[in-house]
Structures are given as structure tokens and as C-alpha cells.
Amino acid sequence: MQLYTRSEGAEHPYWPVGPFKVRLPLVHYRIEVPEAVQALIMFVVSLGMIPLLQQYLGMPYEAALAGCFICGIGFMLPALLGVPLVPGWITPAIPVTLLFLGGFAPGPEAVQAMIALQLIVFVIFIVFGLTGFGAKLVDMIPNSLKSGIIIGAGIAALMGELKVGGRIEATPISLIAGTLIAFYLLFSLSFRDVMARHPIAKRIGDFGMVPAMLVAMVIGWGVGEYPVPEIEWGITQPDFGALAQYSMLSVGLPGLDVFLLAIPTALIAYVVAFGDIIVGNTLTERVDHIRTDEKIDDNVSRIHLVTGIRNALHAVLAPWPGLAGPLWTPVHATVAERYGRDRNAMQSIFSGAGTFWIFGFLALFILPLVTIFKPVLPIALSLTLVLTGYICIMVGIEQLKTSTERGVAGIVAVVLAMPDPKSTVYAVVIGVILYFLIERRRAPVAEGVSPDASLSPVDAEG
């Protein structure tokens, strides 16, 4: 139980601190058991950044593990400061970030490049959050462009796994099995009917993508796609001293030339993250109208500020190729789905989101868990990317109202998903041009006339 309670239809209790709304576990909200259990499995995805830290930044394993602890602290900040989204990385931007880092030698040079990129991302989020421009941007950007970015990010996430040389080629059995089970448990209409009739099925559904991940891991071990883990007992021992050697505290600030090189990648990352904010708020709004007992404040400026703070934390202490993003799409979708049932299922959207990353952080200390999942880190990341792709495509298409919007969004999505580091910039430019060329009307639409109503040459002659 918690000390504060919420009256019907009110916003969940909090302590106001400037632009933030502080909420503490057991003080403002209760611990949600399903989210706690999910976190003890799903935390493994955050460890999936370790191989990238080793390869691109030259970190030893113990230093990279320490970086995961810094990341875990950042993951707990949004629920603490009043953001109702389950945070993650800017996942679809990872391929672009790695392409940028590939131009620098692993070690101090690559670390400085990552610091420059993360600082620019921090500045973008903070400026847009303080000025409120981030909130205005949601209304200013054409619907077709917003949806196209979301759909394109989803396609890019999927193609990264399906391409030649991707993980689907290396571990097809475990990845396909895990994906199919995750899709069925999270999105199947027939499984919803089963949950309504059988309590056991409802319990399974409460754990989101965890059952699918566990099955994929067991299959991977069984068919030899992943090595059997060597379990160690005790508490993990991250080397924060070694991590400090790969931080701004040791390597110093990058030069102006590195900052200039990082600007395009930072802008691409922000565009993708902005799409994540739209997806996250859309998923929340889909269930908010069902839960009339709680008023959810999904302030876009606050999301920007908290995401900026998290990127600053990484820039100073633990450069992070995944960057700090506003949303972990599959997990937030699972939390939102369970929240939408009733108050007994989940007290508040903040109790679900807060519980998840508190227990995800605690799991990092449990050495047996870390070692048992160490060999299968790729499958955890792969399932996250595939589910992110599906949800992005689903939500993006759902936002499109007319065939003209769908056409423009489709072009934007295809261009953004191209394997080119500048594809996001091209997609935004093309989307803006097509909006003014095709969608924007010079005069108000006459009453009773469809916004899509237009005459082809054949129609005009007839």
C-alpha cells in the first residue's frame, strides 16, 4: 500500500518540484507485481548494449556493465519526475549512431564522438522542453509527416533484423518462435477472448513479452543457436573506476569539428525520438478514456526535459550508443494494455511504469540473473526491435485519416527506412514538400465535400 490515495477522476498524487511532479514508490503509488516480474526478465535488454560498447567504444565488459547501472538510474527518472511513459533507448536510431561512430577509432576518439552526439541531443531536448516548442511541434507537423516518420522507424527496425546478415539469418528458429508467440500474446484478438474466459491465460497475458522471450531463449539453447550459460552466484561487480576512463571526466570535451560532425546524427535521433513521443502518448490516450478514475498528464515539455537530463547523465558519466529515449515501445504497450483494464489491475499508469524500472535496476545487482541471460542478449534486443516495428506501423497507420495522408506518409516511411545515414533528413524534406504540393489546400473545403475529393483528367472530361 501507499501513503497517498487518489480521489476518483483526479490526477495521481505528487509533490510539485518546478516543472516536475515527483512520485515515490510506496509513498505515492503501490508496487505492481506483474511489472516487477516482467522487469526481472526484461532488464536483460538493457545489457544488450554491452557488446556495442565493447566494439565501438573499446570498453571492457566490467566498464560496460557499470554503464548499464548509469542507464538504469536514468530509466527510473521519468516515473519519478512525472512522465507516464516507460522509457528506453532511441532504438530505431541505433544503426545511424553506429554508422557515425564507425568513423572513429575505438577508445578515447570514439568516446569523444559519442559525448559530442549525446550533448547535442541533450541541448535539443532541453531547449525544446524549456521553450515549450516541443509541445507546439506536435501540432505544427503535418499528420502525414508524423505518421510517415513513425511507420518508417518501424520498418527500419524490422529490416535491421530481416536483412542479409541480420539476426534472423543467424538464429532463425529462436527468433521466429519468440516473435510469433509475442505477437499472439500481445496483439491477438483470439487470445483476448481466451483471457476473458480463462484466468490462467489472463495471468500469462499480464506478463507481456516475457513468456515469448523465455520460450525463445530456451529454444535457442535447445537447438544450439546460443551457448548454454555458466551461472555465477553473488552480486554483480561493475567497475565504475574503469567506466570513468571512458567518460567526459577522463577524455575531456570533444573539439568543435567533432561537434559539427555529430549534428546531423543528433537531428536524426531527435526526429525518431519525437516519433516515439507521439507513439507513447497515443498508446496512453487509447486507454486513458477507458480509465475515468485517473487523469493522466502527458505533458510533452516535461517529457523533453526528463529525456534531456538522462542524455546529459550519459554524456558526462557513461556515453551510450543507444542514446536516452522517451519510450520503450513494447513494454509501454504492455503496461498501457493492462492499465486499461481497471484500477484493480493497475492502480495508476505511474505505478506500472515506476515499478518496472525500479525492479529492472535492482535486477542488475543479481549476478545469477545477469550470467544466465548473458549468452542470449541478442534475442532480447531482437524481439524488442521487431515488436517496436509492429507497434510503430500499427500506430502510424491508425493516425492517417485520408488517402492523401496515407500516400504522403507511405513515401516518407519508405525514404526514412532506406539504409542511408541521411535517409531521415531526406524523408523530412520530401514529406514537407509533398505536404505543400499535394495536401495543403488554398481554400476551405466546402461543406459536404470530402477532403480527398479531386477530379482526375478523365473525371473532368466526363
Query: What are the two backbone dihedrals, phi and then psi, of residue 198, each rounded to the nearest 5 degrees?
Result: -125, 120
**Which of residues 452 and 26 earns the better pLDDT score?**
26
Mean pLDDT of all residues belonging to the chain: 86
CA nearest 391: which of 158, 137, 210, 145? 158
| pLDDT above 90 for 363 | yes
Q: pLDDT digits over 26-48, tens only?
A: 999 999 998 998 898 888 888 88
pLDDT band, very low/low/confident/very high, at 445 (cuts 50, 70, 90): low
Name the residue type at position 66.
Answer: A
Name the residue type at position 339.
Answer: Y
| pLDDT above 90 for 203 | no
Highest mean pLDDT among 191-200, 324-333, 347-356: 347-356
pLDDT band, very low/low/confident/very high, at 452 (cuts 50, 70, 90): low
- When pLDDT is averaged across residues 107-113 and rounded to a whole number, the result is 94
Highest mean pLDDT among 58-72, 197-211, 438-452: 58-72
- When pLDDT is averaged across residues 234-257 and rounded to a whole number, the result is 92
- When pLDDT is averaged across residues 332-340 and rounded to a whole number, the result is 87
Measure Cα distances from 276 to 38, 286, 303, 353, 415 in Å.
22, 15, 11, 16, 18
Q: What is the largest CA-CA distance in the chain?
A: 81
Q: Collapsing DSSP states into helix, strand and coil, what is residue 16?
A: strand
| pLDDT above 50 for 458 | no
Query: Residue 258 has what DSSP assignment?
Result: H
Q: pLDDT digits over 370-412, tens only?
A: 888 888 877 877 887 888 788 888 878 888 888 999 999 999 9
What pLDDT is stored for residue 457 in this prediction?
Answer: 41
Q: pLDDT digits over 287-333, tens only?
A: 888 888 989 998 999 999 999 999 999 999 999 998 999 998 878 98
Query: Cell digits for 359?
Result: 525492479
What pLDDT is stored for residue 451 in this prediction?
Answer: 54
Q: Collapsing DSSP states into helix, strand and coil, what is residue 129?
A: helix
Q: Collapsing DSSP states into helix, strand and coil, what is residue 15?
A: strand
Alpha helices of 188-321 — where are they, by DSSP H? 189-197, 199-206, 210-222, 240-244, 248-251, 256-288, 300-317
| pLDDT above 80 for 163 | no
The answer to whether 6 and 13 have CB atoms below 8 angstroms apart is yes
Q: pLDDT digits over 275-290, tens only?
A: 788 888 888 888 888 8
